[in-house]
Structure 1
Amino acid sequence: MHNYCKTIGALAAASALVAGNANAEVEYELHTGYTSSYLFRGVELGDDLVEVGVDAAAEWNGLSISGGVWAAAFDQDGTSNDIDSEVDLYTEVGKDFGFATASVGYIYYWNLDNTNGGTDDQEVYFSLSRDLGFATASLTYFWDIIENDGGNEGYSELALSRAFELNQCLTLNVGGNLGYLIEGGDFTALTTKVSLDWGFAEHAKLSPFAAYSIALGESTGSLWNSTENEFVAGSLLSVGF
């Protein structure tokens, strides 16, 4: 259940959409990393997350188009050497209206092995974002298409982020988000994250990070009813071209 079989429809769709525009360029990014725990919207899903992914993005007729795939392996129960795995496929289309940028996206959660009970899931999300000067703010609503027992109960998220350029090679990123269950009428978690982007090469960067999530959920029957405060740390290596 990330934010993102290596030949995916999302990348093919992005390339096809921009093929008719000679001025459009598709930008790609490869990334891999490690995180001490798999933390998803304030819920700890396992330990020792190892991830790899690829993203593509382009502009076409005033629209921003992106897509990608994210694959991960981790220890779901934290007590054995059994490795669980997950692959997420996602795509998004956005447009800048001046006062705000509106986006709509789709995520397919492919849960391999017995991850999340072996049940796949799908979400469509709608988002509004705006640069406020002191920070960039966004509000996103995630609609669970499948609505299985692990459904998100109308999950929404309010986020703030800001980047500080320390020098030509280093950028400090700080941010936080607050989750809310619309149908359950309950907050889920407040998560803050700090990362440092080190551009050690022209198109490559190493990004160590740390995040802390404060559990807020109390809705009976939801994923967040039994969550606890969580701290995670890790690092991400990304290469763009």
Structure 2
Amino acid sequence: MNIETAFRPDSIAIGAPAYHPAYSSSGHVVQVEASNGFTIGGGGMVRDRSQLTIVWGESLQITEVPESAARLWLELAPRYLVEPISAVQAAALLAAAKHKQAEFRRKMNEASEQGRTARAAFEAGAASKIPAWAKAVIIGELIEDQSDSMTDYYGGKTIKTVILGFSKHTRDLFPELRQAARNFADTAGLADAPETAEHRQKYSMGGGYFLKTGGRYSSGWKVSKQSFYGNREPVKSLPFPADWHLSAP
């Protein structure tokens, strides 16, 4: 087995400069730890004696890599005039990066908790609105086309959802979807849309049965049915967030 010793210039120390060409970002080594690991390189196995922690520019993103993976970044630093910093500055940079990281996690946890609370409140209010006979829910979704022919990407994003009604069965019937569409002003036009609005895409990677003028990913409203499958409570199958637009009883 061919084992090489990893790149170990004398400049690999706390405060050493680095440059990431893919992100056009400068950074600095803020921590160096001993390592006995190996990295597979072009010439075979490479022994890494150090694990580096690098903090990048204004983003304060933290990257932890073996020294061999950081070789190019370290070599490019002089070319892009990235100057080294002192150990004190490096410590402050690492502290700032960790603070930002912790603050990001805190906000994510807070948003997650708020989401769970909002979902619980939604389900509590929705439980009384679902008929005992319901086997499926009929919904309307406002789609925003995000396709990009330059990158050969085709897709759409749901930016608003409304609950239009419930069904006693799981069959896909367009007259039923058209009737439910009348319950909301923005989807009412689909009730009398031409037959071309009836999409039948129940095949692998298809969009299922839905009522929509235009293509699957085009911007606009679509109406479809979602069945309540399994033993879970029907309320757990409802889309969220969603507004209610049911017909009068």
> Normalising to structure 1: TM-score of the pair?
0.23
**Structure with the higher fraction of residues in helix conformation:** 2
Give the structure with higher Rg (CA): 2
**Structure with the higher fraction of residues in strand conformation:** 1
